[in-house]
């Protein structure tokens, strides 16, 4: 029997699975709804599936922000 491995690919359909605050979120891996919430992701307490938060942080250490065009040949401040 032939099984198409690419029959349902959520990324091709534009579906992005995220953890949404203030809603009941079921794990796509095991179907349960107990989560450990972090700063940037939520992890299922049972199977360990990690989902990004719907509204992740936009400022903070380790995040990069572009402030327009920079001069690549400017001297470095030492």
Q: Please tell me the distance from the alpha carbon of residue 31 to that of residue 46, in angstroms, as a whole number.
A: 10
Name the token pair of 36: 């450990």
Query: What are 19-65's pLDDT values in tens digits?
Result: 998 999 999 999 999 999 998 899 999 999 999 998 765 555 655 55
Q: Please tell me the distance from the alpha carbon of residue 51 to that of residue 23, in angstroms, as a whole number.
A: 14
pLDDT recorded at residue 54: 87
Measured between its terminal Cα atoms, the distance across the chain in Å is 67
The predicted model scores a pTM of 0.56
Res. 8 pLDDT band, cuts 50 70 90: low
Alpha helices in the chain (DSSP H): 10-13
């Amino acid at each position: 029997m032939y099984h198409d491995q690419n029959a349902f690919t959520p990324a091709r359909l534009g579906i992005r699975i995220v953890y949404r605050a203030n809603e009941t979120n079921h794990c796509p891996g095991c179907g349960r709804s107990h989560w450990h919430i972090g700063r940037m992701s939520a992890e299922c307490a049972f199977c360990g599936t990690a989902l990004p938060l719907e509204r992740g942080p936009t400022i903070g250490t380790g995040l990069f922000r572009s402030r327009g065009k920079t001069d690549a040949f400017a001297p470095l401040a030492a």
